[in-house]
């Protein structure tokens, strides 16, 4: 596909009042100034709070709607060039307890986004996925795996000259709502932090890195790709010591649906995967809509898998603290010195 001229594009973001959505809107307005940027979400209070927090711009629109409503998505996507699909039910325990609701939003909502985009002639649609979609151990991961499959094969429904769909898949965002970093910062005040298992490892990136990865993936997508960033891992005991040095550590035991190590590329995905300096690109087995590999991409070994314990990039204490100080999601004054 030809490079995207963001200044001439009309962009819609589902779930735009969430952590990623707000960071994406802020970055796009600051550096690319699309001619129209639509905040699509179901919560009027969060949209109001977003406005009063400074998200006011002549090109910004606030659109109340739910991805469960196909008609509302159709209305919102008229004249839209790019859709970033970030809306989802994301909390693992909530999805386990409310499985019908998780499927309505994460799977059927994804189908609604795809069909509305095709019918309205949207040019590019990028969906946000998660490492939990790889060999899923919980319902949330299973719904995101289904959504990935829908978006990849949405290209076949659109045909050769139509809408193009792709996904990004990445790991934990440091400092995001509900993540372990704010928890450790709070627990540090008591002198004791809790981890579920000392063997556990996780991938980490900042919300800003996630936003930049999404923007670059939209620019290079041809349709059908699952883009995976090459990011660093960290052991949970090391993370706890970096955030709460000297605190006692209580091991609480692994929770239902939780993994010891996260995977961003499964063992059976490398057969159709390319590697670049900053990312892996997982391709579908059949791309009837056509695909030309990037010039600087190479084929990956079929035996490859990408998990948080077999990574070649690791964060130490200084690396983690530098990462946290570079993101707006954490107050640097709360971090340990050094």
Q: Active-site residue 132, yes or no?
A: yes
Q: Annotated catalytic residue: which of 22, 90, 123, 132? A: 132
Beta-carbon count within 10 A of 25 CB: 24
φ and ψ at residue 249, rounded to 5 degrees: -115, 125
Distance CA 152, CA 141 (A): 17
Report how far apart, in Å, the C-alpha atoms of 208 and of each of 15, 98, 174, 175, 227 are: 17, 31, 10, 11, 16
Do the Cβ atoms of 225 and 125 come closer than 8 Å?
no
Give the tokens for residue 74.
């159709």
Instruction: Give the H/E segment covering residue 228.
Output: strand 226-229
Burial annotation 78-114 (CB, 10 A radius, 16+ → b, else e): eebbbbbbbbbbbebeebeeeeeebbbbbbbbbbbbb
CB 209 within 8 A of CB 229: yes
Give exposure, 207-228, as e/b (b: 16+ Cβ within 10 Å).
Answer: bbbbbbbbbebbebbbbbbbbb
Active site residues: 132
């Amino acid at each position: 596909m030809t490079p995207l001229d963001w200044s001439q594009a009309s962009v819609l973001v589902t779930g735009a009042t969430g952590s990623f959505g707000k960071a994406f809107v802020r970055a796009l307005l600051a550096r690319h100034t699309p001619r129209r940027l639509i905040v699509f979400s179901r919560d009027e209070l969060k949209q109001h709070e977003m406005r009063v927090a400074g998200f006011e711009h002549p090109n910004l629109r606030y659109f109340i709607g739910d991805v469960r409503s196909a008609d509302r998505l159709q209305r919102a996507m008229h004249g839209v060039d790019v859709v970033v699909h970030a809306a989802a039910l994301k909390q693992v325990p909530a999805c386990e307890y409310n499985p019908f609701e998780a499927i309505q939003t994460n799977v059927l909502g994804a189908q609604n986004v795809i069909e509305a985009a095709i019918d309205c002639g949207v040019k590019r649609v990028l969906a946000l996925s998660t490492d939990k979609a790889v060999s899923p151990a919980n319902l949330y991961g299973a719904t995101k795996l289904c959504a990935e499959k829908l978006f990849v094969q949405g290209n076949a429904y659109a045909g050769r000259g139509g809408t193009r769909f792709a996904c990004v898949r990445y790991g934990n965002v440091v400092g995001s709502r509900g993540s372990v970093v704010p928890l450790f910062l709070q627990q540090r005040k008591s002198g004791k932090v809790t981890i579920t298992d000392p063997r556990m490892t996780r991938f980490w990136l900042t919300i800003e890195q996630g936003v930049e990865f999404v923007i670059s993936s939209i620019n290079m997508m041809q349709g059908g790709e699952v883009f995976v960033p090459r990011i660093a891992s960290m052991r949970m005991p090391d993370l706890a010591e970096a955030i709460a040095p000297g605190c006692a550590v209580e091991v609480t035991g692994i929770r239902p649906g939780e993994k010891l190590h996260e995977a961003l590329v499964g063992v059976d995905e490398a057969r159709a995967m390319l590697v670049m300096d900053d990312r892996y690109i997982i391709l579908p087995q059949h791309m009837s809509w056509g695909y030309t590999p990037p010039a600087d991409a190479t084929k990956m070994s079929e035996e490859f898998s990408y998990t948080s314990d077999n990574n070649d990039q690791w964060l130490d204490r200084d690396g983690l603290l530098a990462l946290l100080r570079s993101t707006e999601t954490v107050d640097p004054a709360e971090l340990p010195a050094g």
